[in-house]
Amino acid sequence: MALYQALDDEQRLITLAREGDNGAFQSLLGPCVEPACKLAFVMLGDWQEAEDAVQEAALKSWRATKKLREATPRFRPWFLTVVANECRSRRRGRWFRTLRVAEPKISAQVDVADVAVGWADLERAVAALDSSARLLLFLHFYLDLSHEEAGRVLGLSGAAAKTRLYRTLRALRPELELETAL
């Protein structure tokens, strides 16, 4: 019941924002800023550039709220799509060959050398993927978006996002020598 109430509240806020209510837009945008910065950082590899991209995306979103379709069920995937598009436009003309990944937090009981080797293998395998596959992995596993939400960000159906995610994980499996089934 609380989930339906939250969805109704979000729909109400989207309607108010579309009508020009700045407070409603801020309420929708607030919870999206941190995930948007993380998304932009993964796409751009530079924290300051990522913050600039999110700020520009927020401004573009605010200007475009009147054009937001009534059928838009959730604000977060829509805003993350705007952020992803802004990042793509910022990196046009620049070549990103590697994906920078944040350092993992390691407890004292873990063998640091084993973790470092595993982390390097993962980073190398992910960097070898095309940018859309890396973005899908990030959206699903790092930002914890559902298949449907990640699909909306990428302009795919939920089923297509799920299929691409499965294929990407299947392609990574031999690279990482995973023994568990996907």
Residues 79 and 120 in one domain: no
Query: What is the rounded radius of gyration, in angstroms, for the C-alpha atoms of the chain?
Result: 18
**In CATH, what number is assigned to the domain containing residue 148?**
1.10.10.10
pTM of the model: 0.58
Confirm whether 152 is domain-assigned: yes
Residues 26 and 86 in one domain: yes
Question: Each residue of 102-141: b (16+ CB within 10 Å) or e?
Answer: eeeeeeeeeeeeeeeeeeeeeeeebeebeeebbbbbbbbe
Averaged pLDDT for residues 146-162 = 89
Reported as a single tens digit per residue, the pLDDT across 62-108 is: 998 887 777 677 889 899 999 999 988 887 745 443 344 444 454 44
Same domain, 14 and 80: yes
Domain range enclosing 75: 2-91
Together in a domain, 138 and 59:
no
38 and 86 both lie in a single domain: yes
Can you say how many angstroms the Cα of residue 17 is from the centroid of all Cα atoms in its chain?
23
Q: pLDDT by residue (tens digit) across 32-46? A: 999 999 999 988 888
